[in-house]
Amino acid sequence: MNVIETTSLGRRYGSTWALRDCTVAIPEGHLVALVGPNGAGKSTLLNLAVGLTSPTAGEIEVLGGLRAGSVAALDGIAFVAQDMPLYRYLSVADMLHLTGNLNLRFDTSYARRRLSELGIDNKQKAGKLSGGQQAQLALTLALARHPRLLVLDEPTAPLDPVARHDFMSTVLTAMADDGVSVVLSSHLLTELERVTDYLVLISNGRVRVNERVEDLLACHRLVSAATAEHLNGIDGELIESSTMGLQTHQLIRLSSPAAALPPECESRPVGLEELALAYLRGTPAPPALASVGALR
C-alpha cells in the first residue's frame, strides 16, 4: 500500500506554480525524508496530502486509494507543522480536551501518560512551555489519534540538538510500537541520515528522487580519475561533476551496483547527505516561462 500516491500533481497560486507535474509513490512502513531547498514544493505536497489545499492539476490519493482531504483520509492522518500550532493561552489539559473533542478518535489516557513521562505539567500554559516541550505536546496530540500516517513538516527546525533527538526518538518508538508510517520534511540532512530509510527529493517543484535509501546508496559512487576521458564509458547516469587539481570527480548512478569501472578510476560509496546535495546542486533550472516554487 502507498500512503501517498500522486499523478501529474500540481498546485498553482495565481500564475505561480508551487508544485508541478509531481508523480510520486510513497510506500507504507517507512520513515520517509522529504528533502529539497526552500521553495521546492515540499510543504505544498504535504498540505495537499493532508487536505489543507486542493490540486490545480493531477491527482493525489492517500492511505491506499483514499481521496486526500476526505473524512476517511483525515481520520487516518496526523499532521505536525513547523510552527507547532498550539493555543498559547490554553493549558496542556485544555489542549488535550479540545483535541479530543475535535477528532473522531483520541486516546486521552495515552496522551496523559506520555506527557507525564516527559514531565510536562497539565496545568502549564502551552505558550509557557519550552520549544522542546511544545514540540512534544504537538507530537503527543498527533500520536494520540493513533494515525496510520504521521506527516511532519520541519517540526524540529527551531529545536536544539537534544530536543531534536528526543523528538525523533519518540517518532521512531511510535513506528515500532504502532506501525505508523512517517513522512518528514527537513533540511537537517545529517540527522536524517541516521533515521530515514526512504528518500523523496524535490527541486523546482518536481520530484527527482523517490527510492529506498539502501537502494540509492548501493548504486551511487563517487568516481575519480586523472582525466575526464578515463571516466567515459561508465554505464550509468552522471549526477554531478567537479575538478580539483588534476583530478576529476563525478558522482555517478551506476546501472547496477555491480557495474564495472575503468581500471584508471578510483571510487568510493557516498552517504545520504552527500548524495542529496549532489542532486540538488545538479538540478536544472526551471523553464523560463514557468514560475515554479514560490512557496515552500
Instruction: Give CA–CA dist 252/262, Å, rounded.
Output: 13
Count of Cβ atoms closer than 10 Å to residue 146 Cβ: 16
Predicted confidence band of residue 5 (pLDDT cuts 50, 70, 90): very high
pLDDT attached to residue 296:
36
pLDDT attached to residue 11:
93
Predicted confidence band of residue 285 (pLDDT cuts 50, 70, 90): very low
Count of Cβ atoms closer than 10 Å to residue 258 Cβ: 8
Each residue of 263-284: pLDDT tens digit? 777 888 999 989 998 888 875 5
Please tell me the CATH code under which domain 2-213 is placed: 3.40.50.300
Residue 295 has pLDDT above 70, yes or no: no
The structural domains of the chain, with segments of one domain joined by +, span 2-213, 219-281
Residues 195/203, Cβ–Cβ less than 8 Å: no
Each residue of 111-149: pLDDT tens digit? 999 999 889 999 999 989 988 889 899 999 999 999 999
Residues 121/96, Cβ–Cβ less than 8 Å: no
